[in-house]
DNA sequence: CTGTTAGCGCCTTCAC
DNA sequence: GTGAAGGCGCTAACAG
């Protein structure tokens, strides 16, 4: 709670010198500097953030926006905690802090962002769960706030993104199943405006085409990204007159629900219907049969995101806005996949 | 990005009047006020947070601290998103904002808090995952920062807390099992310094005592709060010479792992070993057999927490520091519980 | 190497 | 009902 003035008085020197010493500015006698640093530690002095930001015109803080009201965020495991943990650590090495900015259910995400930008509490923003047409991106692109999106979008403009390679995951999943003899493969897609669904769908279609398989619209379903959504998907598959022998999930959150629905309808996951889900996580590992899925290092993803954001704030910010990164994932076989009719 | 000066110039009035109009201060001509408000909306003016905080000495922001490096937070579902979502909404009604402050793996939680307090970016803090002896509480109690803990602690001092009633949940769980004829009931506790473990343990012991059952130390195990921890627990139970007929979990995150370990050892969850876990969540609902557990409304918990924090910042802050609330939970029967040897 | 001073954006007191 | 001015805590530019 001490301010810089009291610290200076305590040391009998001017606040200017104290400030220079604390901020590693040149032109301070080494002995003075060490006295200042020691006194700061003793008195628990930390610069007041408002004063510093006001003067510097920057907060040295990155905001990571999460819509806490979204069912997709309330389901599943704590993807974001792992990503932000690593991202935060990388940012800290460069003197930046990270805060998670939750946008609550009753608030409008676009207005929330507009307020954030104007209030100036962060130097850059990360937004997640991008839509095909995303007003948040349109807003940010018009503003002067540097931002990174986790997920692509068809919203026009030049902005940096990092995205998991949903296309390749889906394509690869189909290929794995086809190699075992599957020919009727269902897929659960999210709501239409969720951008990852576009890519997952295109990968699925590419996989079918590569195998010379026809597209059956009955096998392409849209469900909520939640346990309930997975259950829905399973029920709908069970009700199909000509049941598929395999199913793909573009979100691991739906896996448990799908297993439950199949079992409740007398269908054995893995035996009657092969399943490949999206991202490996600890919960999946103990499901029976263990689901085939895709692995990636979330800490590495967080580090990459930190790098991308820091690039935006560096000297080559303009160039950094053209940074695009497709994040690869590797297939993890599982007992949930078997030849059809086995 | 407009500042108040430009807004005032645009309207040809002084910044003092603009400020008064925007902050609903008395003594502004109604017409002037409406002109100001309209111009603010048009130009997208929002007060700069640093300037305002510096002047007011308050940020109107509440910080919710989460240790993103903790395995317990990386496991399980998004408990905190649901709580903070409701809390945020309640706070917003009273003009407060909420930010989630992640403390990353490589950072020391106590130092992190000390920095937060000194930087003055929030008016109050919420800390979670309390320890039996919690240095964070000791630090905050010494500071002038109002704070609320989600979870109790034996750390001395007068501070407000809200805690789920772990004692009663454990006691009730034992009673349910005893009523069905169980006499050997195992329990998985977290590491010793995790405060909720103390209460869960005391409730477990109270339950045994009420039923006149002996305490078998072999049945009281400590495991990590994660899927792996649950798996560990199951393996250890399977290896016991005199196997229990029931098992209690003080964290739902361990449930899937326990099911997996039992099955891998030829033990049927629900039939061979009855299971009661902690908090109901969507993932559990689709496990087979569905685990008995305890239900509570996380949105209501979030609202209660918002109230507790706002009380701290109100006129009766001193009295509010004595607010303690034990949060009740209700039993949800499940197929994971059956009479022993059934 | 150190002290002094201006001003970041805002709100509030005082004067009118 | 409105304008002018000071100062919240800090850093950077300028004197010395």
Nearest CA in chain B to A284: B256
Are B69 and B40 in contact by the 8 Å Cβ rule? The answer is no
Same structural domain, B193 and B257:
yes
Residue B127 lies in a domain: yes
Q: Quick one: pLDDT at residue B45?
A: 94
Question: Which structural domain range is residue A223 located in?
Answer: 166-296
**Segment B64-80 mean pLDDT:** 81
Tell me which long-range contacts B199-203 makes (C-beta under 8 A, separation of at least 24). Answer: B199/B152, B199/B163, B199/B165, B199/B166, B199/B167, B199/B170, B200/B166, B200/B167, B200/B169, B200/B170, B200/B248, B200/B250, B201/B170, B202/B167, B202/B170, B203/B166, B203/B167, B203/B168, B203/B169, B203/B170, B203/B171, B203/B172, B203/B173, B203/B174
- The Cα of A214 is separated from the nearest Cα of chain B by a number of Å equal to 33
Q: What is the pLDDT of residue B268?
A: 96
Say what the pLDDT of residue B236 is.
98
Please give the C-alpha separations between residue B140 and each of B53, B136, B159, in angstroms, as whole numbers.
21, 6, 9
Between the CA of A17 and the C1' of D14, what is the distance in angstroms? 14
The whole-number pLDDT of residue A73 equals 74
Q: How many CB pairs under 8 A join A and B?
A: 193
Q: How far is B312 from chain A (nearest CA, A)?
A: 19
Residue A339 within a domain: no
Q: Is B53 part of the contact surface with chain A (CB cutoff 8 Å)? A: yes
CATH number where B23 lies: 1.10.260.40
How long is the CA B295 to C1' D14 vector, in angstroms? 66
Question: Tell me: the pLDDT tens digits for B322-332?
Answer: 999 999 999 99
Residue A205 lies in a domain: yes
CB contact under 8 A, B49 and A107: no
Which residues of chain B lie closer than 8 angstroms to A50, CB-CB?
49-51, 53-54, 59, 120-121
Q: What is the pLDDT of residues B85-100, one digit of tens each?
A: 999 999 999 999 999 9
Whether residue B75 has pLDDT greater than 80: no
Contact A286 B231 (CB under 8 A): yes
pLDDT of residue A69: 84
Distance B324 CA to D12 C1' (A): 48
pLDDT at B201: 98
- B57: nt with nearest C1' to CA: D8
Structurally, how many domains does chain A consist of? 3
Mean pLDDT of the B112-119 span:
96
B14-42, pLDDT tens digit by residue? 999 999 999 999 889 999 999 999 999 99
For residue B25, tell me if it sits in a domain. Answer: yes
Cα-based distances in Å from A138 to A157, A164, A279, A309: 8, 22, 29, 18
Residue B252 lies in a domain: yes
pLDDT of the residue at A39: 93
Contact flag A92-B76 (C-beta cutoff 8 Å): no
B34 touches strand D (CB under 7 A): no
Please give the pLDDT value at position B76: 61
Same domain, A70 and A101: yes
Please indicate whether, in this complex, the C-beta atoms of B77 and A81 are within 8 angstroms of each other: no
Residue A229 pLDDT: 95
Do A140 and A178 share a domain, yes or no? no
Residues B40 and B100 in one domain: no
Is B282 close to A115, i.e. CB distance below 8 A?
no
**Residues B110 and B88 occupy one common structural domain:** yes
Determine the Cα–Cα distance for residues B92 and B62; give it in Å rounded to an integer. Answer: 10
Question: Which has the closest alpha carbon to A221: A257, A275, A185, A173?
Answer: A185
The answer to whether residue A41 neighbours chain B at the CB level (below 8 Å) is no
B178 and B281 belong to one structural domain: yes
Closest CA to B116 of B81, B76, B143: B143
Position B87 in a domain: yes
Confirm if A335 and A289 have CB atoms less than 8 A apart.
yes
A127 and A146 belong to one structural domain: yes
State yes or no: pLDDT of B291 exceeds 70. yes
pLDDT in tens, A258-312: 999 999 999 999 999 999 999 998 888 888 899 999 999 999 999 999 999 999 9
CA distance B87 to A110: 20
pLDDT band at A75 (very low <50, low <70, confident <90, very high): low
Q: Does residue A226 belong to any structural domain of this protein?
A: yes
Indicate the average pLDDT of chain B: 95
Q: Are residues B193 and B291 in the same domain?
A: yes
On whether any CB of chain B is under 8 Å from the CB of A228, the answer is yes
**CATH number, position A277:** 3.40.50.2300
pLDDT tens by residue, B142-159: 999 999 999 999 999 999
pLDDT digits (tens, 9 = 90+) for B41-66: 999 999 999 999 999 999 999 999 99
Residue B2: what pLDDT?
Answer: 86
pLDDT at B1: 64
Q: Each residue of A208-230: pLDDT tens digit?
A: 999 999 999 999 999 999 999 99
Whether chain A has a CB inside 8 Å of the CB on B119: the answer is yes
Q: Looking at the complex, report in whole angstroms how far the Cα of residue B336 sits from the nearest Cα belonging to chain A.
A: 15
Does A100 sit within 8 Å of B282, measured CB to CB? no
A204 shares contact with chain B (CB less than 8 Å): no
Residue-averaged pLDDT of chain A: 95
With a CB-CB cutoff of 8 Å, which residues 271-300 of chain A face chain B? 282-283, 285-288
Strand D positions closer than 7 A to protein CB: 1-13
A-chain residue closest to B58, CA distance: A50
What's the rounded Cα separation, in Å, for the pair A250 and A173?
A: 10
pTM summary value: 0.95
To the nearest whole angstrom, how far is the Cα of B324 from the nearest Cα of chain A?
26
Whole-number Å distance between alpha carbons of A143 and A129: 20
Contact between A132 and A193 under an 8 Å Cβ cutoff? The reply is: yes
User: Which B residues, 57 through 96, put their C-beta within 8 Å of a C-beta on chain A?
Assistant: 59, 66, 68-69, 73-78, 81-82, 84-86, 88-89, 92
A339 beta carbon to strand D: under 7 Å = no
Above 80 in pLDDT, residue A342? no
Q: What is the nearest nucleotide to A16, using C1' and CA? A: C3
Q: Which of these, A231, A228, A204, lies nearest to A217 by C-alpha position?
A: A204
* Residue A77 pLDDT grade (very low, low, confident, very high; cuts 50, 70, 90): low
Using an 8 Å CB-CB cutoff, list chain B residues near A106: 89, 92
B198-222 residue pLDDT tens? 999 999 999 999 999 999 999 999 9
Q: Please report the pLDDT score of residue A1 as a whole number.
A: 64
Which residue of A98, A231, A285 is in closest CB contact with B227? A285
Instruction: From the CA of A311 to the C1' of C2: give the distance in Å.
Output: 36
A179 touches strand D (CB under 7 A): no
Yes or no, beta carbons of B84 and A73 under 8 Å apart:
no
Regarding whether B125 and B223 lie in a shared domain, the answer is: no
CB contact under 8 A, A120 and B286: no
The mean pLDDT value for A178-186 works out to: 98
Q: How confident is the model at residue B77 (pLDDT cuts 50, 70, 90)?
A: low
In this structure, the answer to whether residues B40 and B62 fall within a common structural domain is no
Residue B224 has pLDDT above 70, yes or no: yes
Positions 301-330 in B, CB within 7 angstroms of strand D:
none
pLDDT of residue A71: 76
Query: Which of A49, A78, A263 is nearest residue B288 as measured by Cβ atoms?
Result: A263
Specify if B332 maps to a domain: no
Distance A225 CA to D12 C1' (A): 52
Give how far A39 is from chain B: nearest CA, Å: 15
Looking at the structure, do residues B262 and B319 belong to the same domain, yes or no? no
Chain A interface disruption, residue of B51, B76, B78, B256, most A CBs within 10 A:
B78
Buried b / exposed e over B234-246, threshold 16 CB at 10 Å, is: bbebbeeeeebbb
Same domain, A66 and A142: yes
Mutation target among B121, B254, B255, B335 for the A interface, most CBs of A within 10 A: B121
């Amino acid at each position: 709670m001490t301010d810089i003035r009291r610290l200076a008085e305590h040391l009998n020197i001017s606040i200017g010198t104290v400030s220079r010493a604390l901020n590693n500015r040149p032109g301070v006698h080494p002995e003075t500097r060490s006295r200042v640093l020691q006194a700061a530690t003793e008195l628990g002095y930390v610069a007041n953030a408002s004063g510093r930001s006001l003067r510097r015109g920057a907060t040295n803080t990155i905001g990571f926006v999460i819509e806490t009201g979204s069912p997709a965020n309330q389901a599943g495991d704590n993807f974001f905690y792992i990503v932000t943990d690593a991202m935060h650590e990388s940012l800290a090495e460069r003197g930046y802090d990270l805060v998670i900015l939750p946008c609550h259910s009753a608030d409008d995400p676009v207005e929330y962002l507009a307020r954030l930008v104007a209030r100036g509490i962060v130097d850059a923003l990360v937004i997640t769960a991008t839509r095909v047409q995303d007003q948040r991106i349109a807003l940010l692109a018009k503003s002067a706030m540097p931002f990174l999106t986790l997920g692509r979008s068809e919203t026009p403009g030049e902005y940096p993104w990092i995205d998991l390679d949903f296309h390749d995951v889906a394509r690869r999943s189909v290929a794995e199943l086809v190699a075992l003899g599957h020919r009727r493969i269902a897929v659960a897609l999210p709501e239409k405006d969720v951008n990852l669904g576009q890519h997952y769908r295109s990968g699925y279609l590419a996989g079918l085409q590569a195998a010379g398989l026809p597209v059956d619209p009955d096998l392409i379903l849209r469900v909520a990204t939640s346990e309930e959504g997975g259950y829905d998907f399973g029920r709908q598959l069970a009700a199909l007159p000509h049941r598929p022998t395999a199913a793909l999930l573009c979100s691991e959150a739906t896996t448990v629900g799908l297993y439950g629905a199949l079992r409740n309808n007398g269908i054995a996951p893995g035996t009657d219907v092969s399943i490949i889900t999206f991202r490996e996580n600890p919960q999946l590992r103990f499901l029976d049969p263990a689901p085939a899925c895709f692995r990636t290092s979330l800490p590495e993803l967080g580090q990459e995101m930190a790098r991308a954001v820091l690039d935006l704030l560096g000297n080559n910010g303009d160039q950094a806005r053209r940074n695009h990164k497709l994040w690869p994932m590797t297939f993890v076989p599982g007992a949930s996949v078997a030849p059809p009719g086995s």
